[in-house]
Amino acid sequence: MNPRSALALVLIACGCQRAVPTPPHPDVPRVAVVPDAGPPSAVSPRLTAFGSAAAVRTWINTYDSAGPARRGGLMAGSFGVGFGVGTGGLGTMGTMGHGAGASAAPASAPAGPGARVGNGDTITNNQVEGVDEGDIVKTHGDHLVILRRGRLFSVHLGASAVTPVSMVDAYGRGRAPGGWYDEMLIDGDTIVVIGYSYRAQATEVGLFGIDAAGAIRWRDTLFVRSSDYYSSRNYASRLVGHHLVMYMPVPLRLEGEALSLAAVRHSPDAAWETVMDYSRLYRPVQAIGYGPVVHTVMSCDLSGSGFDCRAVGVVGPAGRNFYVSGSAVYLWVNGVSQRNQGDSPTEGTMPAPAVLYRMPLDCSAIGAVKARGAPLDQFSFDERDGTLRVLVRAEGAGEGMWSAEVTSGDIGFLRVPVRRFGEEVPTMEGAAYRGLPRLDGRVGAMQNRFVGDHLVYGGSSSGATAQPVWVYDVAHDRTARVDVTHSIERIEPMGRDALVVGNGSAGLTFSAVALDETPTVAGRHTVRNASQGETRSHGFFFLPDGDRRGTLGLPVTGGSDGAGWAQLRGVSSSVMFLGVEGLHFRELGGLRSGAQAGVNDHCVASCADWYGNARPIFWRNRVFALLGYELIEGDLTGGHVRERRRVDFLRTLLNGAGDRSGNVFNHLSD
């Protein structure tokens, strides 16, 4: 067992498991109640909505009465399951924003985060331009807002000083801490904190206001019924326009006569108020196996004073991948493997069946196609020029928890024209797939990224064994092998080219892969006795300054084990900066963490940094390093980064400086 797996198991064993809804819009199509759900092995090629609570109860009772043996046998042998009449559209899912719709080709997707300068206040390494992803640090005017270990902080970025302003509990004033507080998004003056509470068995959504001075005030906390959404790679929340989009898995079962569907309540003990309309809850169109799950996508309008939410759900097996493009939400729901239990996955194994759903952001009806295999993570998807492109492997269990770290079997490339997604759920033909080169030897975690019209992928072996990088030129349908001197632990767009990072015998190595007609390693830089300090995509940022030039930042930590999971054990040693000129690297130095011994942060919730704790920040021609509770500003003039100032925002606020907005004595009535 490698150190990553051992650490994950230890943390899980130690307990690290990780507004009022409104009636349906009158234009939502109504679906008749279906009194008889039919046998669980029934197959339907169409997307059909349940239409009523009675139809859902009947289906659950029929499914439960089949028994485990029958469900595992009859259902695993058939590719699709579905029955009933009527089809429900997305209806008021239109609150999700704007998009091209299923019948129109979406606009060409951007080349990636490193391909444009963009808004000076955008500091998150987002996958898709215009789709903001949850993270641990965001901007609000001249302030940084930071989420860490169950608290929200704001820090003013003045011209001559960096000043902590506010500190509040992420679980709200007067409430008991209930779980993990993972991600944050900001829309206008509203901060949204996304977490998961095992006590409430729900996703916890905290709403906070922030004013121009940076003072943070808690407004409300809501709970949305779900299982844990955690993924070691993906983020559960997105912001599209003024609309919060969240993915949540909800096990489908009866609790007495009550259904365990997406619902909202304002306290852990209050009654659930459903946000799932039965005309937007879709029956399964694939084999379920053991334990049906409602894969739920919820959209909440943040533009008003309330929390107006709508949900759409599809019933299927548990494995899933979640991706949001500029025009739609995609859900890849893994099917039941046809490999006999106990057989080890090998190259040549028939890929498991799956269903890929498309939920347009413009409120048109959802569609689906049947496919094969399993993507690795959100980076396995790219929507461009009216086509969704997907990297798939023969064996995989989706991205829930740690599943994205373990995939196996042959590798393929799938093209799905957007127009193919429909109510009739067509099966993608063999011609839609293209077999790609396998990985060498015994490879653990695999990485992949689309960079423009190129798909770049590779993997890491135990230890620091070098692996090749494979580049698939989608436009010209050709592959190329690029040999690097290290394992492959991170792949990022760097303008029109790719950056590959990993550990080798010499240390942590950065390889710039020029995506020319013949891809090659154009530049390389090695840092001895170091490894990545962050595994998540948001730990990296590249700021372009022309073609094949710019500045990048990445948290690093001491030691060359290549584990990369340091954020679960401590804070990165530093954020290292490299200059890029013609794809050649020049080390600019780093901003280092100071000693934090003796600082008790009085953590009572979310005391493991599952989503990291270190970030490089490029903001309005200034550069910062976030390292735990330290924010360090650097000066990049003169070809080398030098520290200008630093602040320990926790220590400062605990000592009384700044506005402790969460203190109850600041809110006593007259």
Q: Which residue has the tokens 């590249």?
A: 542
Nearest to 582 by CA among 494, 453, 646, 471: 494
**Structural domain contains residue 603:** no
**Structural domain contains residue 287:** yes
Q: What is the pLDDT of residues 378-394, one digit of tens each?
A: 999 999 999 999 999 99
pLDDT of residue 623: 97
What number is the average pLDDT over the span 223-249? 93
| b/e sequence 602-620, b meaning 16+ C-beta within 10 Å | eeebbebbbbbbbbbbbbe
- Structural domains counted in the chain: 1
What number is the average pLDDT over the span 578-603? 88
pLDDT of residue 83: 21
**Structural domain contains residue 482:** no
Q: What is the pLDDT of residues 105-128, one digit of tens each?
A: 333 333 333 332 334 568 999 999
Q: Which residue has the tokens 């679960």?
A: 568
Burial of 665 (0-12, 13-18, 19+ CB in 10 A): exposed
**Structural domain contains residue 358:** yes
**Structural domain contains residue 496:** no
pTM of the entire predicted model? 0.85
Query: Over the chain, what is the mean pLDDT?
Result: 81
Most confident residue range from 3-12, 259-268, 302-311, 335-344: 259-268
**Structural domain contains residue 295:** yes
Residue 44: which pLDDT band, with cuts at 50, 70 and 90? low
What number is the average pLDDT over the span 230-249? 94
What number is the average pLDDT over the span 342-367? 78
What number is the average pLDDT over the span 7-19? 36
- Checking 648-653 for CB contacts under 8 A at 24+ apart, the result is 648/594, 648/596, 648/599, 649/146, 649/153, 649/155, 649/164, 649/167, 650/153, 650/167, 650/599, 650/601, 651/599, 652/164, 653/153, 653/164, 653/166, 653/167
**Structural domain contains residue 145:** no
pLDDT of residue 465: 62
Q: End-to-end distance of the chain based on CA atoms, in angstroms?
A: 61
More confident residue, 540 or 272: 540
pLDDT of residue 355: 96
**Structural domain contains residue 10:** yes
Domain extent, residue 342, equals 1-134+235-436
What number is the average pLDDT over the span 431-448? 87
More confident residue, 133 or 71: 133
